[in-house]
């Protein structure tokens, strides 16, 4: 076999190898594959009841599901790892969304810091200390596990403890619509 | 994505950009944004093919926020991405070449409260390049035509072979690719007047919109997502030293690179906070054997960790080592 044929074979083999198992991106699906969940059951899905939790905020105050909702129409939990995408979401929320919903609590969930002081340091260094957000130090990954959260995950829980939204922040439009629809 | 849109995008890219050596494909990487980059790969005029193997070590150190202010990573964090890039280039006609670059990516993220080591294929790049002009005199400049540079134009296609946020993986730490096809037009201008050489590389790429029905392993209500167009520009200046009497050479290069990506869109609505920008400086030293068959290189790329040198993007240092073999 000539050299050029060998090279072509290597390239084709490489592409085939690369393509194996990555069909979801090579051939994206627009099908709705969300599974039915039992409304009101405890879980992380929309229409399910949020699991209870107890975490510490960067002021050292214990925050539970009940306390996060007390006297409010709902609560928003945004999962941050203090990255540029996270910052763009948090900045957008702070300037465009939070002022329109004074009756909703907004929490930043720091799921990467190992202590309350580290979470406080990260919030401060990024300009989010003492502002409209309360930063939760999820040092035991309670919220991360409860809501299956990762970078950019945005969870809205209404006053009854029902999850109204649990997905990536995207451009904030879905969050706006969800908050506007809170009872 | 309908066929009319695809056609329009292809025409736009062809008009805006031109051509393709495989330009450095800066990509969002590691801890937050997925990655996997291709290396520059050009088959010399005198050769038939090139095989290239390189290893990149990318160290994260803060980021620029929306306003261009440089912010630190969280306390106790240590974020890295490693990439092994295999590149093959083949000159199938006098003025035409094609190439492919396959990266394999390792993400190594440590925070004070989280740690993750994952790996997977990155996004693959295939390209076709046409040599518009050849650099006819690389030794002395006697008349104006001796200043004519080598000019290559081409197109490259980024294939979403990496792990994206729209796969089954549940954590952003697992990401090795963007999840989108992208078509780039590239223009490369090079001039050598020994021992000096200089180059300018321009690239303009457009992503194809795609359907999304899953985010980090969770199925969601389907929507259409688009990423903003990408512009890259780099300039480099090099100086070559001849070693001994056999003709081996060492070339040192200094470079500057600019990257800009426009805003993403969701169901056709633009997200004005999602675009990003990056400026970086580079230095490289390369060894080439007498017969130019073998080449070794060591490079360093540094994002300027100062306010105003980027926006909405991580600042990193990339150290690269590579070996290249040219088939005559």
Mean pLDDT (whole number) for A46-70: 97
pLDDT of residue B5: 47
Optimal mutation site among B36, B74, B105, interface A, most CBs of chain A within 10 A: B74
User: Hey, what domains does chain A have and what are their CATH numbers?
Assistant: 54-180 (3.40.30.10)
Task: Report CA B205 to chain centroid distance, whole Å.
Answer: 11
pLDDT of residue A20: 59
pLDDT of residue B59: 97
* Of A4, A31, A84, Cβ closest to residue B32: A84
**Quick check: B2 pLDDT over 60?**
no
Render pLDDT for B106-123 as a digit per residue (tens, 0 to 9).
999 999 999 999 999 999
- For A19, nearest residue in chain B (alpha carbons): B161
Contact list in B for residue A129 (CB cut-off 8 A) is: none
* ipTM for the whole complex: 0.86
Sketch the domain layout of chain B as residue ranges.
Answer: 3-327
Render pLDDT for B133-155 as a digit per residue (tens, 0 to 9).
988 776 778 888 888 999 999 99
Render pLDDT for B44-98 as a digit per residue (tens, 0 to 9).
888 999 999 999 999 999 999 999 999 999 999 999 999 999 999 999 999 999 9
With cut-offs at 50, 70 and 90, classify the pLDDT of residue A6: low
What is the rounded average pLDDT for all residues in chain A?
91
**Quick check: A18 pLDDT over 90?**
no
Render pLDDT for B165-220 as a digit per residue (tens, 0 to 9).
999 999 999 999 999 999 999 999 999 998 999 999 999 999 999 999 999 999 99
Render pLDDT for B235-253 as a digit per residue (tens, 0 to 9).
999 999 988 777 788 999 9
**Quick check: B100 pLDDT over 60?**
yes
- Beta-strand pair B150-159/B182-193: antiparallel
pLDDT of residue A22: 59
pTM of the predicted model as reported, rounded to 2 decimal places: 0.87
Two structure tokens written together for B143:
């008349």
Contacts made by residues B132-140, CB under 8 angstroms, sequence distance 24+: B132/B19, B132/B95, B134/B45, B135/B190, B135/B191, B135/B192, B137/B193, B138/B192, B138/B193, B138/B194, B139/B193, B139/B194, B140/B193
Optimal mutation site among B112, B119, B123, B176, interface A, most CBs of chain A within 10 A: B112
Render pLDDT for A92-128 as a digit per residue (tens, 0 to 9).
999 999 999 999 999 999 999 999 999 999 999 999 9
Cross-chain Cβ contact B159/A18 below 8 Å: yes
pLDDT of residue B39: 41
With cut-offs at 50, 70 and 90, classify the pLDDT of residue A14: low
pLDDT of residue B4: 47
**Quick check: B32 pLDDT over 90?**
no
- Beta-strand pair B218-226/B196-207: unpaired
Containing B186, the helix (H) or strand (E) segment is strand B182-193
pLDDT of residue A11: 60
pLDDT of residue B246: 75
pLDDT of residue A12: 61
* Of A81, A122, A139, Cβ closest to residue B32: A81
For chain A, say whether B252 makes contact (Cβ under 8 Å).
no
Do the Cβ atoms of B47 and B328 come closer than 8 Å?
yes
Top pLDDT among A88 and B245 is at A88
What is the rounded average pLDDT for all residues in chain B?
87
Q: What HEC string does chain A produce?
A: CCHHHHHHHHHHHHHHHHHCCCHHHHCCCCCCCCCCCCCCCECCCCCCECCCCEEEECCCCEEEHHHHHCCCCEEEEEEECCCHHHHHHHHHHHHHHHHHCCCEEEEEEECCCCCHHHHHHHHHHCCCCCCCCEEEECCCCHHHHHHCCCCCEEEEEECCCEEEEEEECCCCHHHHHHHHCCC
CATH number given to B3-327: 2.40.128.130
């Amino acid at each position: 076999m000539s050299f050029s044929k060998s090279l072509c074979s290597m390239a084709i083999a490489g592409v085939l190898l690369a393509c194996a198992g990555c069909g979801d991106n090579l051939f994206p699906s627009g099908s709705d594959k969300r599974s039915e969940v039992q409304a009101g059951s405890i879980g992380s899905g929309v229409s399910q009841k949020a699991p209870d939790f107890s975490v510490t905020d960067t002021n050292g105050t214990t925050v539970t599901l009940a306390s996060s909702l007390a006297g409010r129409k709902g609560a928003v939990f945004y999962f941050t790892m203090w990255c540029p995408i996270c910052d763009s979401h948090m900045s957008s929320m702070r300037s465009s969304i939070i002022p329109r919903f004074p009756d909703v609590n907004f929490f930043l969930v720091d799921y990467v810091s190992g202590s309350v002081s580290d979470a406080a340091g990260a919030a401060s260094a990024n300009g989010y200390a003492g502002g409209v957000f309360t930063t939760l130090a999820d040092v035991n990954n309670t919220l991360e596990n409860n809501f299956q959260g990762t970078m950019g995950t945005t969870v809205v829980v209404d006053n009854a403890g029902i999850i109204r939204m649990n997905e990536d922040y995207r451009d904030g439009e879905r969050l706006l619509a969800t908050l506007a629809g809170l009872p | 994505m309908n066929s009319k849109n695809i056609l329009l995008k292809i025409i736009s890219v062809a008009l805006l950009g031109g051509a393709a050596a495989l330009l450095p494909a800066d990509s969002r990487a590691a801890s937050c944004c997925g990655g996997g980059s291709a290396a520059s790969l050009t088959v010399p005029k005198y050769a038939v093919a090139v095989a290239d193997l390189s290893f990149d070590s990318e160290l994260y150190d803060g980021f620029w926020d929306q306003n261009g202010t440089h912010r630190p990573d969280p306390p106790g964090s240590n974020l890295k991405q490693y990439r092994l890039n295999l590149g093959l280039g083949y000159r199938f006609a006098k003025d035409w070449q094609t190439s492919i670059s396959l990266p394999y990516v390792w993400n190594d993220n440590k925070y004070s409260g989280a740690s993750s080591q994952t790996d997977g294929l990155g996004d693959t790049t295939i390209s076709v390049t046409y040599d518009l002009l050849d650099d006819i005199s690389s030794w002395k400049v006697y008349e104006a035509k001796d200043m004519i540079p080598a000019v290559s134009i081409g197109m490259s296609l980024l294939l979403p072979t990496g792990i994206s946020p729209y796969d089954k993986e549940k954590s952003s730490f697992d990401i090795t690719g963007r999840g989108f096809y992208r078509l780039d037009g590239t223009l490369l201008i090079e001039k050598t007047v020994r021992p000096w050489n200089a180059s300018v590389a321009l690239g303009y790429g457009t992503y194809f919109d795609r359907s999304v029905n899953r985010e980090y392993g969770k199925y969601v209500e389907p929507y259409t997502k688009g990423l903003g167009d990408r512009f890259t520009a780099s300039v480099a200046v090099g100086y070559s030293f001849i070693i001994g009497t056999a003709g081996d050479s060492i070339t040192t290069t200094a470079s500057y690179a600019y990257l800009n990506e426009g805003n993403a869109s969701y169901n056709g609505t633009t997200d004005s906070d999602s675009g990003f920008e990056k400026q970086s400086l580079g230095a490289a030293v390369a060894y080439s054997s007498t017969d130019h068959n073998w080449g070794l290189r060591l490079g360093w790329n540094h994002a300027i960790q100062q306010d105003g040198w980027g926006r909405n993007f991580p600042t990193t240092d990339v150290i690269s080592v590579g070996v290249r073999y040219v088939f005559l």
